[in-house]
Amino acid sequence: MHDWIRQSGFAELASVWRNPVVDAAETRRAATDYLLLHRQFLPSEPMGEWLAGLINGYDPTNAPCRMGAGEPVPRSLSPDAAESECRRLQWSQESLRRFEQGPTQYAWLFSAAALAHRNDLHVGKLLVAMGKTPEDHPGAATFMLQRLRLGGREDGLRLAAALMERPDIGRDYSARNRVREYRLWHATSLTELCRDAQREHGRAFDRDTLMASAAPDPGVEPTWGWDYDTNWILNYELPHPALIEFAQQAECPSSLRTVAASIAWSRAILRKDVAGSRQAAGVWSQGMDPQIQRVLAMTDDKAFLLEAGLMAQGARIGGTCRIAVPRGGGYTPDYEEVVGDLPLSLGHFAKNVLTPEHYAKWQHERQVLDALPDLDSIWMQNVLAFAEAFPTDARVPGLLRDAVYRTRMNWCAESSAGKLSKAAFDLLKGRYPKSKEALTTKYWFKPRT
């Protein structure tokens, strides 16, 4: 019975990949089932081993991994980031070796490419191997895409232009998006960044394999937005002068220009840069909060910064906990979730896109912004300063109450924010004891409890 399941089950699932019209969702289901079947029957067979390596993103065998010049490290059940990176590189190199042994087995070439990073030592050999793929091969477009991702700018721009002219790319919006994404890594100016910063939106798709996905109605204008890489660039790679220039780029859609201006405004406030915040407001194309217009009329710099500080929570796209660069190793509550290897490439876009003057400013601003506490703590500190400067302002009791509760069940605020909550509580109770806010606020709070 087991032999029958093994033979017929593998054959049935493998037949899915021989059907050129199968959709991405059905292929993913077949891959999952094949992998589960593979794990139940030992010894491993090549297709299951290939799938395991590709899906897990690292060497699925028990082969030890050598990190640097040290001794080989045996495989652990819970590998840390260094071992996972070592096993990723090892499987990419092993896949390339297996392809070189069997040059017609392009699945190994694909896993070698999909798991490779552009700075890997074997990328040169990998690019040469992919460049020899016949034009009529079913995976030709996929290998062109991987060459675009891993290769240099000159060859990459040529490949991007050729890909955009292919009918199979032109029919599939998700494939066009992937070409734009990888071409973005070759941008050397803000104009080129604007060209590829947006993506066509639609149903879920599989961009890595360029499999056919559900295309939007051709009679309807596409919905445009942006991906994680664009968020990353705006959040971490552009200093104030570049954000201002970005906000004035005619090639950029107005929505992105507005985002750039709002980020420049908020971060100038956090840096106590009055002139910079006013400059950002001057290029804000649309959607500006009417409250900001009122604040801009203020001539006293201290009052301006305190009032604007109450509205500076848009310091980054998504408004999550911090504006410091994410730490490596995945999700932590204080930072935005780390996706892919972008954090390992901090400065890639800044180095390629910015002028030497702007690049120096980027380095300085990153140090200032990375040193700031979480956005909730910054806002609470601003409220306390505002209350001291304008004790008779009718908004103060409400602001203090909000500051007290800002740490309640809060995983964003640092542990020190509890002192800010208590300070706001004491000020509210001591100075405004008969206010509605004081009468209904019975406790102060520590974050993360």
For 158-170, write each residue's pLDDT tens digit. Answer: 999 999 999 888 8
Q: What is the pLDDT of residue 322?
A: 81
Lowest mean pLDDT among 1-15, 234-248, 282-296, 385-399: 1-15
Q: Residues of 427-440 as b/e, b for ≥16 C-beta within 10 angstroms?
A: bbbeebeebebbee
What are the C-alpha distances in Å from 257 to residues 65, 190, 226, 250, 283? 46, 12, 12, 9, 9
Q: What is the pLDDT of residue 411?
A: 80
Measured CA to CA, the distance from residue 415 to residue 412 in angstroms comes to 9
Higher pLDDT, 57 or 131: 131
Higher pLDDT, 112 or 72: 112
- By percentage, how much of the chain surpasses pLDDT 90? 51
Q: Which two tokens stand for residue 257?
A: 């220009």
pTM for the predicted model, two decimal places: 0.81
Q: Which residues pair with 201 in a beta bridge?
A: 223
For 293-328, give the DSSP string.
HHHHT---HHHHHHHHHTTGGGSSTT--S-SSPPPS
Q: Which two tokens stand for residue 390?
A: 């304008």
Measured CA to CA, the distance from residue 241 to residue 394 in angstroms comes to 37
Can you tell me the mean pLDDT for 352-375? 93
Q: What is the pLDDT of residue 155?
A: 95
Indicate the pLDDT class of residue 430, thresholds 50, 70 and 90: very high
Cα angle, residue 161 at apex, residues 157 and 162 outer, rounded to 5°? 115
Mean pLDDT of the chain: 84
Lowest mean pLDDT among 4-13, 17-26, 323-332: 4-13
Q: Which residues pair with 226 in a beta bridge?
A: 198
Q: What is the pLDDT of residue 206?
A: 46
Indicate the pLDDT class of residue 14, thresholds 50, 70 and 90: low
Indicate the pLDDT class of residue 128, thresholds 50, 70 and 90: very high
Out of 247-251, 256-260, 276-280, 444-448, the most confident range is 276-280
For the chain, helix (H) and strand (E) counts, in that order, are 23, 4
- Residue 315 Ramachandran class (φ > 0 left, ψ -120 to 50 alpha, else beta): alpha
Q: Which two tokens stand for residue 128?
A: 């040469």
Total residues belonging to the chain: 449
Higher pLDDT, 231 or 33: 231
Q: What is the pLDDT of residue 127?
A: 97
Q: CB neighbours (10 Å) of residue 178?
A: 23
Has residue 147 got a pLDDT over 70?
A: yes
For 74-94, write each residue's pLDDT tens digit. Answer: 778 788 878 888 999 999 999
Lowest mean pLDDT among 100-109, 167-176, 275-284, 290-299: 167-176
Output DSSP code: residue 372.
S
Are the C-beta atoms of 96 and 122 separated by less than 8 Å?
A: yes
Q: What is the pLDDT of residue 292?
A: 86
Are the C-beta atoms of 95 and 103 separated by less than 8 Å?
A: no
Has residue 242 got a pLDDT over 50?
A: yes
Name the burial class of residue 356, with classes exposed (0-12), middle (13-18) and buried (19+) by CB atoms within 10 angstroms of its CB.
exposed
Q: What is the pLDDT of residue 23?
A: 67
